[in-house]
Amino acid sequence: MVRISLLLLCLLVSTLLFTSSSAQQAPAFVSLDCGGTEPFTDELGLKWSPDNHLIYGETANISTSFNETRTQYTTLRHFPADSRKYCYNLSVISRNRYLLRATFLYGDFDHNNVYPKFDISLGATHWANIAISEASTIEMAELVFLATSSSVSVCLSNATTGQPFISTLELRQLNGSMYTTDFEDRFYLSVAARINFGAESEDPVRYPDDPFDRIWQSDLLKKANYLVDVAAGTVRVSTTLPIEGYADDLPPQKVMQTAVVGTNGSLTYRMNLEGFPGFGRAYTYFAEIEDLAEDESRKFRLVLPDHPEISKAIVNVKENAQRAYRTYEPGFNNLTLPFVLNFRFAKTADSSRGPILNAMEISKYLKKSDGSIDATVMANIASLYSSTEWGQEGGDPCLPSPWSWVECNSDPQPRVVAVKLSNMNLTGNIPSDLAKLTGLVELWLDGNSFTGPIPDFSRCINLEIIHLENNQLTGKIPSSLAKLPNLKELYLQNNLLSGKIPSVAENVISNFSGNIYLSKRGDKGKKLGVIIGASIGAAVLLIVTIVSCICMCRGKKNNKMRKTSAELTNRTLPVQRVSSTLSEAHGDAAHCFTLYEIEEATKKFEKRIGSGGFGIVYYGITKEGKEIAVKVLANNSYQGKREFANEVTLLSRIHHRNLVQFLGYCQEEGRNMLVYEFMHNGTLKEHLYGVVPRDRRISWIKRLEIAEDAARGMVKPSQKQDRNLSWYYISQQLTEKSDVYSFGVILLELISGQEAISNENFGVNCRNIVQWAKMHIDNGDIRGIIDPALAEDDYSLQSMWKIAEKALLCVKPHGNMRPSMSEVQKDVQDAIRIEKEALAARGGISDEFSRSSAHSSSLNMGTTYDLAGSQNYVSIDDSVLQPTPR
């Protein structure tokens, strides 16, 4: 009875709270203007507040040249590109559902060469990877979640390239049971598409039309792979009459008042679904908004390639909704969907009208992380120090990356294994919660002003290293402390401890000195033992250090030798030794040269072979006899370590081994150098747009053949069955998708004759070929990227388009969105076929010519050299340009 009335009271209170809040204009909304300074209300009536309470990160302004006038997008907050996470803490009401939206407008805030790429997480759950590909495009991540506590944290981490940043963070409380799913305790709903069909403009419909400020994207929006392959006969219809059947879950009326109709019998669309393949929730929204005559009907089926069972159901909009101008919303609560979604609505034979579609919403089920086991205990500990920076890092202590003063193991549900709070000016008692961290291996609390007794750590049986020295700890030393089964180091010196020194095992290094109230152990032998033990320990440590140093150096050498021999036998082996700052999450690898190696190879930078705004290029020969070109970057061309690291990462993504080979880098004594293979015969680049005169530039069909050969060279090794080394397979697997990326860049280079990275060629908003080409291709302007050296009658636009579209797929930010190498190869072959047919139609080429020329190009760059393992560069010399008799 008491419980029921309590429940009623709660209901009452929350209803009161809600009505009072919804009467005012949506205070259940939180809109953070990241980097902003003043609160303001935007033109939609949304109230924005600055995030200036945040102690982390720095603010930046977006240049006005980006034409972005909405105040919330003129500023942003960015964070250091390190291995930490940076969190926002948002208050929520437990057991309520929310829509959470984060947006990112890069706007070249840092004038960097590399677009930022980082992760965003909700609490311990990885939410999305944010990969900026255009400075002026607003990236957005959205999810729906059920709050389970009174706050949630949204964190940015894993700076792969550039600096993590954020423009806005928006939290919208949903009403009642909106977006309830059977899986909401274990899954978030990550929004992949919310589309308003038949929209009147490119602008989305959102607040105040949608009281929950869901963003209904216009179907007119120009975005790559968004609603393409539209069937002929698709028309846009709209009405001003009201649409009935309003419920919170349904789209707002404005969205339902417009639609598309397949006048020729079907509606078809293709689009990419971010985050998929996976299980998702998919809803379609229909309302009859055309006036049908008595004898007319509109009946259709949904056709999904992988779901034949779905096509059985017939939609009869008017009948299902009970009347016209009323919403009907069939949907699937758990459907497997692919990344590339093709869907079709097809009219039934007995229907007089084609299908109609007003709106659609697709979300992916995003598995919630359980978080680390010690999350609650650690939150309690951190809350004791909430005024310090490290005490308010927020989020999970371990996931997706640990707090700065914590180390965790890599279990699926991680545990805290080290707490490192040396010299932090901490006072008061040692938090007793620390003793609940049963996975703890190292505890560093030395050099503080802790007072009071040492807590009982007897449950922390993994503890190996305990540093409590240089505090003001009092009381007896718990006997359990010295008896911890795995103890290796116990430092308690310079405290105010009293009682007896406990006996410790022989192999434990310990120090109890400087505790004036601690009674010495009578047994001199034992004390001597401690000292001897300690010295032996120190000596062992020293030896271990020396030995491991030697091993590391050996390892270095071995790796280098391995690398060289690998190069001799097969160039496709990935370089093994990778600098830890540069390897990061990529499968790509770059070798770190020492300055000494470079100086030796270049004879202290003796022979200068080129120069430019970036710096000077020197010639060199490595100890292994390999000729190299060393680009010494001008001091001002890179601001810092991180930028250089980004550039190296980018280069190792872009330069494929079959073309100009990027060998590695050197970063010592403030100098940044990039090392390439030296090319005697010039590179593909030079032949495309370099020193070779225009009239000798390579034709389009020749470029396609070069691409085909390179593709063949890349497809082959991974299919070779006789290489019985499993690590080889694994690394090959790892690099396949990054090879596809490199190949996409090569295709763009072949189309445009442009270098992959250039400060001048791509205009203000693009710094590399990918952004530049994408911008043109997305705008349907393929001519804008075609090499001007190619005569108009030298190529067919059809094959250009084919290659350009494939190239853009290859350079998709996520590996899993990229096509396979053999798929790309097939398209290149198709393009060659198109060109040959076109040439034949023009009577311009004989079969004889194309066959022999294809052959010679493969001689120069493809598999032949790859397997022989000698010189491996593209040398497109005159022999390629002329038919070679065979």
Is 160 in contact with 117 (CB distance < 8 Å)? yes
Interface residues with ligand NAG (CB under 6 A)? 22, 59-61, 65-67, 89, 91, 117, 119, 129, 136, 150-151, 158, 160, 175-176, 183, 187, 211, 232-233, 248, 264, 279, 334, 365, 383, 392, 394, 400, 424-425, 493-494, 511, 513-514, 531, 534, 585, 765
Q: Whole-angstrom Cα distance, residue 617 to residue 679?
A: 13
Q: Whole-angstrom Cα distance, residue 800 to residue 562?
A: 42
DSSP of 449-480, one letter per residue?
A: EEEEPPP--TT-TT--EEE--SSEEEEEPPHH
Q: What backbone torsions phi and psi does residue 124 show, to the nearest 5 degrees?
A: -90, -5
Nearest distance, CB of residue 873 and ligand NAG, angstroms: 30
Nearest distance, CB of residue 674 and ligand NAG, angstroms: 22
Q: Whole-angstrom Cα distance, residue 346 to residue 342?
A: 13
Q: How many residues does the chain have?
A: 886
Q: Which residues, in sequence order, are bridge partners of residue 443?
A: 419, 466
CB atoms within 10 A of CB 236: 14
- Residue 133 or residue 853: which is nearer to ligand NAG going by CB? 133
Q: Whole-angstrom Cα distance, residue 164 to residue 78?
A: 6
Half-sphere exposure of 775 (CA within 13 A, CB side): 17
Nearest distance, CB of residue 700 and ligand NAG, angstroms: 30
Q: State in Å, rounded, how far the first CA of the chain is from the last one.
A: 97
Half-sphere exposure of 248 (CA within 13 A, CB side): 10
Nearest distance, CB of residue 432 and ligand NAG, angstroms: 19
Number of helices and strands in the chain (H, E) = 18, 42
Identify the burial level of 586 via C-beta atoms within 10 angstroms of its C-beta, where 0-12 means exposed, 13-18 middle and 19 or more buried.
buried
Q: What is the DSSP letter of 430?
A: P
Identify the burial level of 503 via C-beta atoms within 10 angstroms of its C-beta, where 0-12 means exposed, 13-18 middle and 19 or more buried.
middle
Nearest distance, CB of residue 149 and ligand NAG, angstroms: 9
822-826: long-range pairs with CB below 8 Å, 24+: 822/715, 824/711, 824/740, 824/743, 824/744, 824/747, 825/708, 825/711, 825/712, 825/715
- Residue 624 or residue 781: which is nearer to ligand NAG going by CB? 781
Is 132 in contact with 104 (CB distance < 8 Å)? yes
- Residue 274 or residue 709: which is nearer to ligand NAG going by CB? 274
DSSP of 532-577, one letter per residue?
A: HHHHHHHHHHHHHHHHHHHHHHHHHHHHHHHHHHHHHH-TTSPP--
Nearest distance, CB of residue 823 and ligand NAG, angstroms: 22
- Residue 178 or residue 224: which is nearer to ligand NAG going by CB? 178
- Residue 493 or residue 761: which is nearer to ligand NAG going by CB? 493
**CA-based nearest residue to 512, from 550, 468, 480, 546:** 468
Q: What backbone torsions phi and psi does residue 519 show, to the nearest 5 degrees?
A: -80, 130
Q: What is the dihedral of CA 312, 316, 319, 320, to 10 degrees?
A: 60
Nearest distance, CB of residue 195 and ligand NAG, angstroms: 22
Helix then strand then coil, in percent of the chain rounded to 5, is: 30, 25, 45
CB atoms within 10 A of CB 297: 17
Q: Whole-angstrom Cα distance, residue 60 to residue 3?
A: 52
- Residue 233 or residue 610: which is nearer to ligand NAG going by CB? 233
- Residue 143 or residue 839: which is nearer to ligand NAG going by CB? 143
Is 101 in contact with 170 (CB distance < 8 Å)? yes
- Residue 523 or residue 837: which is nearer to ligand NAG going by CB? 523
- Residue 307 or residue 626: which is nearer to ligand NAG going by CB? 307
Q: Residue 152: which residues within 8 A CB-CB, separation 6 or more?
A: 89, 90, 92, 100, 122, 123, 145
- Residue 158 or residue 858: which is nearer to ligand NAG going by CB? 158
Nearest distance, CB of residue 425 and ligand NAG, angstroms: 4
Nearest distance, CB of residue 874 and ligand NAG, angstroms: 29
Nearest distance, CB of residue 864 and ligand NAG, angstroms: 34
- Residue 512 or residue 618: which is nearer to ligand NAG going by CB? 512
DSSP helix/strand/coil, 271: strand
Taking CA atoms, 557 is separated from 560, 564, 577, 588, 604, in Å, by: 5, 11, 10, 21, 22
Identify the burial level of 527 via C-beta atoms within 10 angstroms of its C-beta, where 0-12 means exposed, 13-18 middle and 19 or more buried.
middle
| Closest-approach residue to ligand NAG (CB) | 232
- Antiparallel, parallel or unpaired: β 509-511 and 591-592: unpaired
- Residue 106 or residue 286: which is nearer to ligand NAG going by CB? 106
| Tokens, residue 583 | 């390897």
- 483 assigned ligand-binding residue: no
Which residue has tokens 């339902």?
256
Nearest distance, CB of residue 9 and ligand NAG, angstroms: 18
- Residue 157 or residue 752: which is nearer to ligand NAG going by CB? 157
Nearest distance, CB of residue 815 and ligand NAG, angstroms: 8
Q: What is the DSSP letter of 380?
A: H
Nearest distance, CB of residue 117 and ligand NAG, angstroms: 5
**CA-based nearest residue to 360, from 452, 454, 260:** 260
- Residue 495 or residue 661: which is nearer to ligand NAG going by CB? 495
- Residue 240 or residue 386: which is nearer to ligand NAG going by CB? 386
Nearest distance, CB of residue 176 and ligand NAG, angstroms: 5
Q: Please enumerate, by residue number, every residue annotated as part of a binding site for ATP.
A: 631
Annotated binding site: 631
